[in-house]
Structure 1
Amino acid sequence: MFVIDAKERKIIITNDTTREVIEIREGETLKRKFLEGTQDKYDCILKLIDVDIIDPATQKKTGEKETKAFGQRVGNPHWIMEFKEEEYLIG
């Protein structure tokens, strides 16, 4: 489980079993998990981006924004994926 601290520009991850707390700041390296045999291995960094909130009923922007965490591929600023903790080696 993780929470975003937009003010401090970091995510805070708490391990559900050990209760260990890990903080990762924006711009720090994320270690992505790869399936065995994957040839295109790459490094990612944490990016926090303010995104528009979409009303689920109308599918229109509400005018409000929320901060979300993303993994950005190093060397390619246009390649980003929403951060999912189970896709990265944490700790």
Structure 2
Amino acid sequence: MFVVDAKERKIIITDEISRRVTEIKEGESLDRKFLEGTQDKYECVLKLVEVEIVDPKTQEKTGEKELRAFGQRVGNPHWLMEFVEEDYIIG
């Protein structure tokens, strides 16, 4: 489980079993998990981006925005993948 700290520009990850807390600041490296045999391995950094909220029922933009966490591929500022903690080695 993680939360975005907009003021400090970081995410705070809490391990649900051990209750250990890890903080990752925007721009810090993320250790991405890759399947065995993956040839296209790359580095990622944490990027926080303000995105428009979409109503899940109508699929229309609400006009409100929220800060979300993404992994950004190093060397490619347009490559963003929404942060899912299970995709990364934390701690």
Q: Give TM class, smaller chain.
A: over 0.9
Letter of the structure 2 residue corresponding to residue 48 of structure 1: L
Identity %: 74
| Map 1:40-59 → 2, pairs under 5 A | 40-59=40-59
Letter of the structure 1 residue corresponding to residue 72 of structure 2: Q
- Return 5+ residue gaps in structure 2 as ranges: none
- Return 5+ residue gaps in structure 1 as ranges: none
Letter of the structure 2 residue corresponding to residue 33 of structure 1: K
**Aligned equivalent of 1:69:** 69
Runs of 4+ in 1 over 3 A off after TM superposition: none
Letter of the structure 1 residue corresponding to residue 90 of structure 2: I
Name the CA distance, whole Å, in 1 between partners of 2:43 and 2:2: 20
Deviation at 1:56, TM superposition (A): 2.1
The normalised TM-score by structure 1 is 0.96
Deviation at 1:62, TM superposition (A): 1.1
SS at match of 1:46: strand
Aligned residue pair count = 91
SS at match of 1:56: coil
SS at match of 1:86: helix
The normalised TM-score by structure 2 is 0.96
